[in-house]
Structure 1
Amino acid sequence: MFEYHGWINVQESADAADDTLGSDGLRRIAGAVAARPAEIAGPGLLDLRWMNGELFLHLGGFRNHRDPEVLAFFGEVGRLAPGSYGVMHVRDDEDPGRENEVRVLRMVRGRVTDGTEAALSPCIPVLEDPYGGQDGP
């Protein structure tokens, strides 16, 4: 099972003076980012939209198996728009050594780091009861 939920505030740069709403550079980035969700097959949520002059990407899904394209796409947005920030939570029971945790991918200034989401991990017993029906915390 592969579950993911996230958002990115897509920013051309981290320069506070570069906050021109809907700048040409950001519009070009929006075009490049918008082309990718159509290439990533599947029933998940990949939604790019302008809100109050800012560009946001929302993504989420629940699949039977890992989708490396979704993980790659998250990082790709940061490379295209190096001022971007956001988070994505991932639960992947096929990830050796991490099958019982929720990972959090953090994007700051377009760079992605990977850690464990302490509030949701370990999945058993925090989110689900152990196998065999024992009660959780």
Structure 2
Amino acid sequence: MFEYHGWINVQESAGADDSADGDVLLGRISETIGARIREIDSPGLLDLRWMNGELFLHLGGFRNHSDPEVVDFFGEVGRLAPGSYGVMHVRDDEDRGHENEVRVLRMVRGRVHEDVERALSPCIPVLEEPYPG
């Protein structure tokens, strides 16, 4: 089982930029991310939209097997827009050594760092009861 939920505030840089050039660049980044979303064509949630003048990406899904493309895409957005920040939680029971954890990917200034989400791990017994046996 592979479950993921996240969001990114897509920013072309970490500095304040209200210029027309900044808007054009962020518009191009939006087009590039939108094209990648269409390429991925995931049955999960990949929603890119403008809200109050800011660009946000929301991700979510629940699949039978691991989908490394969605995790790679999370990092790709940071490389395209190095001022971006956000989080994504991933639970992957096929990830050896991490099958009983929820992992959190934190994006700060476009760079992704991964760690255990302590509030949701270990999955058994925090989220689910142990299997009878």
TM-score over 0.5 for the pair? yes
Matching residue of 1:95: 95
| Cα distance, 1:20 vs structure 2 | 4.4
Matching residue of 1:29: 29
What value does the CA root-mean-square deviation take over the aligned residues? Answer: 1.4
**CA pair 25-118 structure 1, distance change in 2 beyond 3 A:** same
Rounded Cα–Cα distance in structure 1 between residues aligned with 2:18 and 2:115: 30
Letter in 2 for 1:75: G
Displaced runs of 4 or more, over 4 A = none
Letter in 2 for 1:97: G
| Cα distance, 1:38 vs structure 2 | 1.2
| Cα distance, 1:40 vs structure 2 | 1.2
Rounded Cα–Cα distance in structure 2 between residues aligned with 1:40 and 1:123: 28
Rounded Cα–Cα distance in structure 2 between residues aligned with 1:15 and 1:61: 32
Q: Which 5+ residue runs of structure 1 have no aligned equivalent?
A: none
What is the number of residues matched between the two proteins?
Answer: 132
Per residue, is there more helix in 1 or in 2? 2
Q: Any idea what SS the aligned residue of 2:42 has?
A: coil
Matching residue of 2:56: 56
Q: Any idea what SS the aligned residue of 1:132 has?
A: coil
| Cα distance, 1:19 vs structure 2 | 3.8
Residues 48-78 of structure 1: CA distance to partner in whole angstroms, max 9, x if unpaired?
A: 0000000000000000001111011000000
| Cα distance, 1:123 vs structure 2 | 0.1
> So what's the TM-score if we normalise by structure 1?
0.93
Matching residue of 1:83: 83
Instruction: Give 1:105-116 correspondences, 5 Å limit.
Output: 105-116=105-116
Q: Any idea what SS the aligned residue of 1:26 has?
A: helix
Rounded Cα–Cα distance in structure 2 between residues aligned with 1:68 and 1:40: 11
| Cα distance, 1:100 vs structure 2 | 0.1
Rounded Cα–Cα distance in structure 2 between residues aligned with 1:41 and 1:128: 31
Letter in 1 for 2:115: G
Matching residue of 1:46: 46
- Percent identity, aligned pairs only, is 79
